Structure 1
Amino acid sequence: MKHVTAILLAMFTFLAVELCAQAPRGSERKPAFRVIAIAENGGHHIAYTQAAKVWLGKLANEYNFTIDYIHNADTIDEAFLDQYQLFIQLDFPPYTWSDKAMKAFQQYIETGKGGWIGFHHATLLGEFDGYPMWNWFSDFMGGIRFKNYIATFATARVSVENKKHPVMQGIPASFTIEKEEWYTYDKSPRANVQVLASVNESSYTPASDVMMGDHPVVWTNPKMKARNVYIFMGHGPWLFENEVYTRLFRNAILWAKDK
């Protein structure tokens, strides 16, 4: 009897192993959350986008989330955004959006349906390529309008202002960003947002006369129900070789995804 029991046990063990081996890998675990990223599909920022996709792919595997990409706002409406817990705006400007897309995005942010992280071109606010400024988005970013930028690039030191914010966890009090354009605006957004970090304009190398004085570069708008953070730095692929930058990016994702 013991011999028969041992044989049956061995057979069941064999079958269980075979069934596990044949099970689709995608069925092993459900994604923790879903991300939609909008990114330019050409132009001089494409190298940043390509590097971001590689880095985000590795992070998605590590933290068990999925990420889809779109290269224009044509598909954006309420039903589309309902699929995602986080919207990442990778170097994509706040113009060329249809009225439908703008309305859906505004609702997504104001009602807290999901979180948002924007980079670089997300504050290219003004009249560009024949499009008017998206006034709501300007208010979202602190009531600012794009004014100028350092076209020849500069290395600079960024100072953390709010060390307790989750996006800044593990970020040193001061860190260096190399080869960035450093936008300026018609005014500082500080009065209308919560500033997390600013750039020290006296540290520009080479020195530049394109300055703001008070120059925030990372901030969040606490007036919105959606968790949101804008990170100005986002021009070149070399940023993904900077461990502080990638930690900042990762922190932003893990914070903004939650309601």
Structure 2
Amino acid sequence: MTVCFTQTECLKTAIKVFLGLFIIIGSVIHPEQIHAQAKQQRKILLLTERGGQHEGFVIAALRWLDSLALVQDLKLTTINRPDGITTAFLADYDVFVQLDFPPYTWPKEAEDAFERYIESGTGGWIGFHHATLLGDFDGYPLWQWFADFMGGIRFKNYIASLATGTVWVEDQTHPVMRGVPIRFDIPDEEWYTFDRSPRPNVKVLAAVDEASYDPPSDNTMGDHPVVWTNEHMKARNVYFLMGHHGGLFRSAAFMRMFENALLWTSSHDDNEN
């Protein structure tokens, strides 16, 4: 034990201790390790649908993502059109997020690049709501590959007057559903319906109980998945049918699912399934 009797002696002792610790730490942490840690920042590409009835959802999502980025060390890049999407462009991102942007108006090069990105597992994908507006819209034909990616479905209808519905989680062990209650309510959603359930071709993580709709609606499917992942693709992916309005970011369950999805789809840990 070192005892110092003057302020000068104490200062010299403190400096020696600090330098000793610095040398020890420097011998344990190599520059390569520091570089590897810096590379762990997750790069997220956001393709947004701006204007129209989903603007509120997109604005709320971007605000929430900005806050999350500070906590989870995310680097966010936002684009509003798919025109510049190429294979080389996508290769720089860990996750591609479709914030309500529909699966049409994409140039052929962008479609091809996206398909390769998903099929090769270059990165992950998260889609919301309008991302399954699959059909012939505004003079654009159905993107058949995307329809198959979403489970072989085609958009059929929606609840225009909106309804609150109860969602039931079907697999609480999946990374996207960790910490999510087994049932929760989603208010004022459009609840898209399709020509068939995607269940035979995807893994369903959650479904809505159509009998819970408030107000009641005849626009139903019977089996109505609302969160699912296509395990036939190399890319980790998840689709959320919800995404009509910004009020979703007052739902703890929705925000937990979104955060879980970002971390899971951007992870390269093969042990996290």
Q: What TM-score, normalized by structure 1, do the two folds share?
A: 0.90
Aligned equivalent of 1:110: 119
Of residues 130, 143, 146, the one that matches 2:152 is 143
Asked if residue 37 in structure 1 is aligned to residue 46 in structure 2, the reply is yes
Contact 1:193 1:222 in 2 (8 A): yes
Q: Which residue of 1 aligns with 2:89?
A: 80
AA at the equivalent of 1:255: W
Q: Which residue in 2 is equivalent to 1:187?
A: 196
Tell me whether 1:210 sits opposite 2:219 in the alignment: yes
Aligned to 2:4: none
- Output the CA distance in 1 between the equivalents of 2:40 and 2:101: 26
Task: Output the CA distance in 2 between the equivalents of 1:41 and 1:160.
Answer: 30
1:99 maps to 2:99: no
Q: What amino acid sits opposite 1:70 in the alignment?
A: I
Q: Give the residue type in structure 2 aligned to 1:108.
A: Y
User: Which TM-score applies when normalising by structure 2?
Assistant: 0.85
1:1-259 alignment runs, 5 A limit: 6=12, 32-259=41-268
How far 1:64 moved relative to its partner? 0.6
Q: Distance in 2 between matches of 1:224 and 1:87?
A: 14
Letter in 2 for 1:35: I
SS in 2 for 1:37: strand
Query: 1:163, CA displacement in angstroms?
Result: 1.2
**Amino acid of the residue matched to residue 122 of structure 1?**
A
CA-to-aligned-CA distance 1:206-233 (integer Å, 9 cap, x gap): 0000000000000000000000000111
| SS of the residue 1:45 aligns to | helix
Q: Give the drift of 1:31.
A: 5.7
Contact 1:35–1:88 (8 Å) recurs in 2: yes
Deviation (angstroms), 1:164: 1.1
What amino acid is the match of 1:45?
Answer: H
Tell me the distance in 1 between the aligned counterparts of 2:211 and 2:68: 34
Report SS of the residue matched to 2:46. strand
Q: Which runs of 4+ in 1 moved over 2 A?
A: 27-31
Amino acid at match of 2:134: L
8 Å CA contact 1:81–1:108 kept in 2: the answer is yes
Moved more, 29-38 or 248-257: 29-38
Provide the aligned length of Structure 1 versus Structure 2: 244
Cα distance in 1 for partners of 2:108, 2:240 equals 25
The aligned amino acid for 1:84 is: Y
The corresponding residue for 1:19 is none
Q: CA-to-partner distance for each residue in 1:116-162, whole Å, 9 max, x for gaps?
A: 00000011000001100000000000000000000000000000111
Write the distance in 2 (CA, Å) between the matches of 1:73 and 1:81: 11
Aligned-partner SS, 2:53: coil
Matches of 2:49 and 2:193 in 1, distance apart?
A: 22
Whole-Å separation in 1 of the counterparts to 2:248 and 2:170 = 21
- Whole-Å Cα distance in 1 between the matches of residues 120 and 39 of structure 2? 26
Q: Deviation at 1:40? A: 1.0
Q: Which structure has the bigger radius of gyration?
A: 2
